Structure 1
Amino acid sequence: MKLERLMSITYMLLNTEVVSASELAERFGVSQRTIYRDIEAICAAGIPVVSHQGANGGYGIMNEYKMDKSLLSSDDIASLITLLSSTTTVFQDERTHHTIERLKTVQRDTGRPPSLTLDLGSWRAYISHLRMLHAAINAGQLVRFRYVNAKGERQARTVEPVSLVLKFDAWYLYGYCRSRSDYRVFKLTRISELDVLPELFERHRDVHTEEVLSGRSSSQEQVEHAVIRFTGGSLARVLDEFYLDEKTFHADGSLTLTLFNAIDTDWLIEKLLGFGEEAVVLEPPSLRRRMKKKIENMLVRYEEV
């Protein structure tokens, strides 16, 4: 209860110029002597509370410590609060919660509903992994888990975690894999048996996460471009799953999709097979042959039907 009162007093001081001890005492239902002790505790925590003398005196916080309200618009602050609030639903970070409260002290009431809403809690299926990895990153601790790679192999990995990355519709862990002696990206849906180890580590070198997540790797098969035709009945799925690629809409309702610098053709083939007869590969011939071979191998399993 005392901690909640101290936090409330701090935010109240941030949002006003001067507040008297009697006003604070009445607001929180305690004696003025208790307020004096609370102010001492706030000062001891490093927050610069100053005392103003006179008839209109009281307590306030140094202006240098406050955020200038002119630096951010109401919409800017609302967007920041929305974004930070969504992360607290996943990571339960107390520091982020305090940041939100400080932002609210400079937020002006516009009377409009929020223009932005984010729900990062939709990944509840592996939210425990997110929290464990986030804590390990902040503490600089090693993690160990089993991981299923692109070849379907399930292997043990020991990793120095660097950051968590939300890219498109999936979470990834970026870190230094001791099993491979290099930085790697791990998709959280493929991680199991996750453990945070007591051993601490120091980062080897800086590597940009975006470089790894770009998908550019010399070990993957490169295709200059791929052209796929989709029927009109599949438009919604195509727009959902290939929203960054070039599209050409046709009068009959169909769509032609062009993927430049297509990488990891195994993934693309598996994705296209999910569209069934609603998708047909037009180019390149090598991808058409691989699609045909894949379909023939599938048909062998149904010869007795």
Structure 2
Amino acid sequence: MKLERLLSITYRLLNNEVVSASELADTFGVSQRTIYRDIEAIGAAGIPVVSYQGVNGGYGIMKEYKMDKSLLGPDDIASLITLLDSTATVFQDERAQQTIHRLKSVQSRPGTTPSLTVDLGSWRTYNEILRELRTAINSCRLVSFHYMNAKDERLNRIVEPVSLVLKYDTWYLYGYCRSRSDYRVFKLTRMTELTALPVSFERHHDIQADDLFSGGNTQDQIEHAVIHFKAGPLARVLDEFYADEKQFHDDGTLTLTIVKAIDVDWLVEKLLGFGEEAVVLEPLSLRRRMKSKIEKMLAGYEEV
């Protein structure tokens, strides 16, 4: 109870220029003597509390310790609080929580409903992996895990973790793979048996993670495709292909046109998930790839 009161007093001091001891005592239902002891405890914790004498005196916090409200607009502060709050929840980050409290102290409209909501969380096990990897990154410790690559090979990897990257709806680990002697990107959903090793690394990683998805294998890509979808799965089509050109027809069907470079294997996998509801119109090479895949699938049911 005392800790909660100390935190509440600190936030009140951050949000106000001067607060009297009597006002604090009335607010928290304690004596002024208790408030004096609380103020001493807050000061002993390193927060620069200032005492103001006189009729309108009381307690405050040094202006230099507070964030300048002119640095950020109300919308900027609200957006930062929302993003940090999601990050702090996923990673159980105490420093992020402290930053949130500081930002709230300069909010001009505290307590208002945010116009932006971000939830970076996932299922519980996934969050635990994220926290373990971030701890390894911050402490420069090697991690070991089994990884399923695109060829369905499950191999052990020893990695110097550099950064966690959220791209679209998927988390990735970017790091230096000692097994391949090169930088690699690993999708977290394909990692199993993750272990933080009791071994530190001293390599300075100065490669920018912004470019980690650039390049790659472009030999098996197409830059144009037209697919016709029946009326049933259109909501799913919008979910999967929201950035591509769409033409809705009077009969409730949809023609999708892709005009960007896209991985053929990925596209075939997605289209097969729509079953008979999706028909590739062009190019011919993609139609042949779909037909070949379907024939191989049918071969497994010849005895049925």
Q: Deviations over 1:158-210 (max 9, x none)?
A: 11222222222222122221112222211111111011122222344322323
Structure 1 match to 2:118? 118
Is the 8 Å Cα contact of residues 147 and 191 (structure 2) preserved in structure 1? yes
Structure 2 residue identity aligned to 1:228: I
Is the 8 Å Cα contact of residues 226 and 262 (structure 1) preserved in structure 2? no
Equivalent-residue separation in structure 2 for 1:180 and 1:30 (angstroms): 64
Q: 1:153 to 1:39 in 2, by over 3 A?
A: same
Structure 1 match to 2:274? 275
What is the aligned-residue RMSD (CA, Å)?
2.6
Structure 1 residue identity aligned to 2:272: L
Structure 1 residue identity aligned to 2:246: K
User: Aligned to 1:51, what secondary structure does the other structure show?
Assistant: strand
Equivalent-residue separation in structure 2 for 1:301 and 1:271 (angstroms): 20
Tell me the TM-score normalised to structure 1 length: 0.87
User: Aligned to 1:115, what secondary structure does the other structure show?
Assistant: coil
Is the 8 Å Cα contact of residues 172 and 187 (structure 1) preserved in structure 2? yes
Pairs aligned (count) = 303
Question: How much has 1:15 moved relative to structure 2?
Answer: 0.9
Q: Deviations over 1:120-151 (max 9, x none)?
A: 33433522111211222222222111111111
Tell me the TM-score normalised to structure 2 length: 0.87
Instruction: Say yes or no: does 1:289 pair with 2:280.
Output: no
Equivalent-residue separation in structure 1 for 2:188 and 2:290 (angstroms): 28
Is the 8 Å Cα contact of residues 232 and 255 (structure 1) preserved in structure 2? no
Structure 2 match to 1:237? 236
Question: How much has 1:281 moved relative to structure 2?
Answer: 2.2
Question: How much has 1:225 moved relative to structure 2?
Answer: 2.8
Structure 1 match to 2:161? 161
User: Aligned to 1:76, what secondary structure does the other structure show?
Assistant: helix
Is the 8 Å Cα contact of residues 157 and 177 (structure 1) preserved in structure 2? yes
Is the 8 Å Cα contact of residues 141 and 160 (structure 1) preserved in structure 2? yes
Equivalent-residue separation in structure 1 for 2:152 and 2:224 (angstroms): 26
Q: 1:237 to 1:130 in 2, by over 3 A?
A: same
Structure 2 match to 1:227? 226
Structure 2 residue identity aligned to 1:242: F
Structure 2 match to 1:127? 127
Is the 8 Å Cα contact of residues 223 and 258 (structure 2) preserved in structure 1? no
Percent identity of equivalent pairs? 71
Question: How much has 1:18 moved relative to structure 2?
Answer: 1.6
Is the 8 Å Cα contact of residues 48 and 65 (structure 1) preserved in structure 2? yes
Question: How much has 1:242 moved relative to structure 2?
Answer: 1.5
Equivalent-residue separation in structure 1 for 2:274 and 2:130 (angstroms): 31
Structure 1 residue identity aligned to 2:68: D
Equivalent-residue separation in structure 1 for 2:243 and 2:175 (angstroms): 26
Q: Deviations over 1:246-283 (max 9, x none)?
A: 333344432222141112x2222111111112222233
Equivalent-residue separation in structure 2 for 1:38 and 1:162 (angstroms): 42
Is the 8 Å Cα contact of residues 246 and 254 (structure 2) preserved in structure 1? no
- Larger CA deviation: 184-193 vs 225-234: 225-234
- Larger CA deviation: 250-259 vs 153-162: 250-259
Q: 1:183 to 1:45 in 2, by over 3 A?
A: farther
Structure 1 match to 2:171? 171
Structural mapping, 1:261-272, within 5 Å? 261-263=261-263, 265-272=264-271
User: Aligned to 2:233, what secondary structure does the other structure show?
Assistant: helix
Structure 2 match to 1:137? 137
Question: How much has 1:86 moved relative to structure 2?
Answer: 2.1
